[in-house]
Structure formats: C-alpha cells, structure tokens
Amino acid sequence: MTEQPFLRTAVRVFRKLTPRAKVAVCELPLTLVVTGLIVASSGVWPTLFQNWMLVVGLLLHGTLFLACFLVPWERLPSNASLIIPILDFVALAFTRSGSYGVLPGLAVLALFPVIWLSASGLRAKTSLSISFAGPLVISLPAFISHLPQPTAADIFSVAVLPLLLLAVSITIRLSGSNARIQQRRVSERDQALRQLLAASKDREMLLETILDTIDVGIVAVDSKGKTVLTNNQQREFLRLAKTGASTDDDESFIHGLDKQTPLPPGKRPIERAIQGETFSDYLVWFGSGPEQRAISTAARSMKRPADDGFGGAVIVFRDVTDVVEALAAKDELVANVSHEFGSPLTSILGNMDLALHGDEEIPAAPRRRLEVVERNAERLHALVQDLLLSSAAVESVYLRRTDVSGLVENSLVSAHAQADAANVGLVADVPSPLWAEADPLRLGQALDNLISNAIKYSPGGGQVNVKAARNDGWIHLEVCDTGIGMTSDETAKIFTRFFRTDSARQAAIPGVGLGLSITKSIVERHGGTITCSSMPGKGSTFTVVLPAEHDDAAAAS
C-alpha cells in the first residue's frame, strides 16, 4: 500500500532533476556495486590490481561516472546519454576479464545498463539488440580464453546470461508499454470526465440563467422536502410578501381566497407538493396590504427511479394579480350593467303585458309588432338574469334538506312545453326520494339549464333521457340527448363563460354561452362535479355528481 505513493514520489523527484543529475542517478547503482565489490575483493586478493584489464575497466567506470556530471547533456539530443550504459558493457567486459579468476559472476552487473536501456524509450529493436549484444561482449573473452575446455561458468555466461538479460529487457519493455497503455486510458478517461464536467457546468449555468430570467417563481424540493433551489423571481415574491410580516421564518403570509385567512400549513403549495400532490392553477394570495399579490401555483412531483417513491417536486409560482383584478373588474361591470338593465326591462315587460293583455283592444298589425317587442324584451330579460346569476351564483347558495328527485320532476314538467314544441321526446328514470343538502332554487336552475340545453341542441325527432341514482353516498344525475353533439376540443371549453360551439352558432340556436358556467359553479358550490361526454352528430351526456344525505339521516326521516 505504501509502495505506490513512495514510487510516485520517487518518479516525481526524478523528473525534477537536471539532465546531468538524471544520468548520474542512473549510473550510480552500477558504480557503487562495482566499487563495493572491488574494494571488498581487494582485501582478500591484494594482487587483484596487478591485472591491467581490471585497472582499465575500473578507470573506464570512473570516467563514465564523471562524464555523467561533466558532459552538458541538456544541449545534446535526448538519447545521447544512452552512450553511458552502452559503454558500461565495455567497462564491465574489461573489469570482468581482469577479475575473472576471483569474480566470475561480475557479468551479472550487465543487468544495470540493460535496465537503463530497456526503460529509456529507445526503439524496441535497438534496445533488445544491445541488451543481448552487451552481455555477450562481456562474457565472450573469458569463454574464448578457456577454449577448448570452457568451464560451466563460461558456458553460463556466454549463452545463458545474454538470453537471460534479453528476457529481462523484453519484460521491462512489455511492462513499460502496458503501463503506457494504462496511462493513456487513464488520461483519455480523465479528459472525457473533464469534458463532461465542463459540459455539465455549462448546462448548469444555462439553467441558472434561464431560471433567473423568467418571471415565474420556481422552488424545487428534494425527497426529504428540503428546498434545494429557489430562483430570483421567487426570492422577490417572498421579499414582497414578507414586507411588514411579523415572522420571517414561516409561510403565514400565504392567504386563502378571502385574501385574509392564513392558509393552514397542509394547504400551502410547497407543503402540498411535499405530500406528493400534483396540482395546477391553485390560487393563493401572498402578503397583505397594497403589496398583496395573487399567485397561481402548480406542482409536479418526481419519482425515485429505484422504488417509484417520492423523489422531490418542482413548484411554480406565477403572479396573476393583474388577471384576477381584471376579471373582478369585469364581473363588477357585468353585474352593474345587468343591474342597470334590469329595472327598465322589468318596466318594459310590465307595460307590455298590460298593453297586450289589458282591456284595450289593439288592432292585429300593431299587436303582432308588440308581441315581437315583448318576445325580444323577454329574451333580453333572460340574458340579463343569466348575466346577474353568473356573477352571483358562486356566493349565494343556501343548503337545506332537499329531495333532488322532486327538483328533477319540476324541471321535467317545466321543460315539457319546450320539448313538445321542438318535437323532442322526454324520458325520465328517477327513483324517489333522493335526499341531499341542496339549495332547491339554485340546483333547480342548474337542472333546468341542462334539460333545456339537451332539448335546444337536439333536432326534431330526438330524445332526451334524464336518469338519477344513488351510489356510494353520491347522487348521480345524467342528462343524455341525441342532439348535435360537440368535438372533444369544444367539450373541454363549454364550461367557460360565453363559449359557444361552431355548430350552435351556425344553426343559429339562440344562446349566449353563460348557462353551463352558471350550472358548473352551482354544482361545485354543492360540493359536486359536472362532466360532459359528447360526439358530434351523436349527442351529449352531462353527468352531475352530488353528495347525498347520509344513510342514517335518510332513515330517520
């Protein structure tokens, strides 16, 4: 374990050395070993230095070591210093020949220049050839001198040693190239990682810029509900909302639709998102006073890939104060104008009634004209009533114990004349009683609307079916016709105020597109829902689901 860091440090230190010091460090082990061996042997064999070959060999070793320091290697080509290990073979040949009698194994020291050459980066062919030839040069003189009866050591030296050192050289080269391949791979991977990192930093910067540029507040929470991202716009919303607030750390500045009651924690958008809820167009009010803002919120949760559990959520906050104020102003205008129209219209209708149905005899021609005026005044009156209702329906619903089947019955009776005139059949399947907490006036209006629409938008010969049933604590009411129907795009919009389908307009069927929006708000005020399914040319089915009265209350009655 400690070897790797040590080696790495050694390599780092070696790389920092000057070219001369590098050559000297490579030559140092051989010089030290040769010096040590000769010094030790000279004590045992004092006559050793009488051999001129040994002396030449030692001088050569010394000269080569000195040359390591004296030659300006930095100015020479990078491979120039390899002359030193090559000449080491020559020096070793002399040293070994001169000391053969006492130190025959000296040839093994050829290992040092072989290692140097093999690790030097010299071309494979050259370094392998020298690694074989060098040891051969060292061992050949002794072999020749012992011919024709060479010793076992001679045979070892001349044949085995060059081969052995060749094998060593091959091994070093192979492990060197392996290491180089590994290093290349590591550096390629390193580069790929760097590129990925740079790309992801770029993306992060882009995302941050986008998040901070848009005028929508964004908050992201992680799987534990901790906030991990808040963009500039959201910080601005919070700053405005908290201005003047007594506490800074909780979200009590978030108010409900009445603009005053702080939302309980479980109803706050972020808390709802943390509970895993997905929602859109959830309107809340931030702050209070003149800085109060209407904020439309939406949330989408993310799933953990591993177990589909809650993986966090993104909550979006959009300032819709202007839209909400414009809608409120429009509602007020509609209510005021309708109200102002109401009185003169009532007066026109009253006087018209007196004129037409009073004692005075009116000639046929003006009577027909007056009847047209009366019909149109009635239509205008109905429109004004609708307009008034559309701005008031949401506020005024007074619930009490009501039999819904009775309301359906009343609506069917009132619709009979219209159905007969339009030649549309009316069929009902409504069990009695169906008790619910309802406002009979409002719910009656809603039913009138649905049934009269079903007749109005059915060509002659069609049929309207009204069904009701109690199911699992809910009352299901169905108004089904065989009329002109609608496309799915149109079906999605019919509860929007003033929306009318193309086919209704083209067929010049009278209407202003307010009835269904009023019906929807009445049903919702009762805690119910209304849906529609329709097919062009095949007819439409409107389904109202209302909470029924509890069984025990029904039984007690």
Q: Which of 486, 523, 530, 548 binds ligand ADP (CB under 6 A)?
A: 486
Report in angstroms how near the CB of residue 514 gets to ligand ADP at its nearest. 6
Instruction: Give the neighbor-by-neighbor strand order of the sheet with 425-429.
Output: 425-429, 463-471, 474-481, 539-547, 529-535
Tokens representing 494? 């019919």
> Does residue 500 touch ligand ADP according to CB under 6 A?
yes
Decide whether 122 or 480 has the Cβ nearer to ligand ADP: 480
Integer angstrom CA distances of residue 272 from 277, 299, 327: 6, 8, 27
C-alpha span between 386 and 446 (Å, rounded): 12
Q: Dihedral (C-alpha) 152, 158, 160, 165: value to the nearest 10 degrees?
A: 140
> Does residue 512 touch ligand ADP according to CB under 6 A?
yes
Decide whether 283 or 421 has the Cβ nearer to ligand ADP: 421
Report in angstroms how near the CB of residue 533 gets to ligand ADP at its nearest. 11
> Does residue 139 touch ligand ADP according to CB under 6 A?
no
Decide whether 47 or 506 has the Cβ nearer to ligand ADP: 506
Site string for ligand ADP, 520-549 (x = CB under 6 A): --------------------x---------
Binding region for ligand ADP (CB under 6 A) out of 118-126, 430-438, 484-492, 547-555:
484-492
> Does residue 444 touch ligand ADP according to CB under 6 A?
no
Integer angstrom CA distances of residue 517 from 130, 220, 407, 512: 99, 35, 20, 11
Eight-class DSSP state of 262: B
The strand ranges marked E within 78-180 are none
**C-alpha radius of gyration, the chain, whole number:** 51
Tally of CB atoms within 10 A around 465: 17
User: Comparing C-alpha atoms, which of 369, 373, 449 is closest to residue 407?
Assistant: 449
Q: Is there a contact between 475 and 552 (Cβ–Cβ < 8 Å)?
A: no
> Does residue 481 touch ligand ADP according to CB under 6 A?
yes
User: Buried b vs exposed e over 279-309: b needs ≥16 C-beta within 10 Å?
Assistant: eeebebbbbbeeebbbbbbbbebeeeeeeee
Decide whether 57 or 483 has the Cβ nearer to ligand ADP: 483
Side chain identity at residue 125, one-letter code: K
Binding region for ligand ADP (CB under 6 A) out of 59-67, 277-285, 328-336, 479-487:
479-487
HEC per residue, 528-556: CEEEEEEECCCEEEEEEEEECCCHHHHHH
> Does residue 453 touch ligand ADP according to CB under 6 A?
yes
> Does residue 464 touch ligand ADP according to CB under 6 A?
no
Shortest-Cβ-distance residue relative to ligand ADP: 511
Binding region for ligand ADP (CB under 6 A) out of 12-20, 162-170, 242-250, 508-516:
508-516
C-alpha span between 106 and 157 (Å, rounded): 10
Binding region for ligand ADP (CB under 6 A) out of 53-61, 228-236, 255-263, 494-502:
494-502
Decide whether 219 or 514 has the Cβ nearer to ligand ADP: 514
Report in angstroms how near the CB of residue 293 gets to ligand ADP at its nearest. 32
| Size of site (CB under 6 A) for ligand ADP | 22
> Does residue 501 touch ligand ADP according to CB under 6 A?
yes
DSSP-assigned beta bridge partners for residue 530:
544
C-alpha span between 100 and 97 (Å, rounded): 5
> Does residue 480 touch ligand ADP according to CB under 6 A?
no
> Does residue 285 touch ligand ADP according to CB under 6 A?
no
Decide whether 36 or 537 has the Cβ nearer to ligand ADP: 537
> Does residue 457 touch ligand ADP according to CB under 6 A?
yes
Report in angstroms how near the CB of residue 466 gets to ligand ADP at its nearest. 12
Which spans of this chain sit near ligand ADP (rule: CB under 6 A)? 449, 453-454, 457, 481, 483-486, 494, 499-501, 504, 511-517, 540
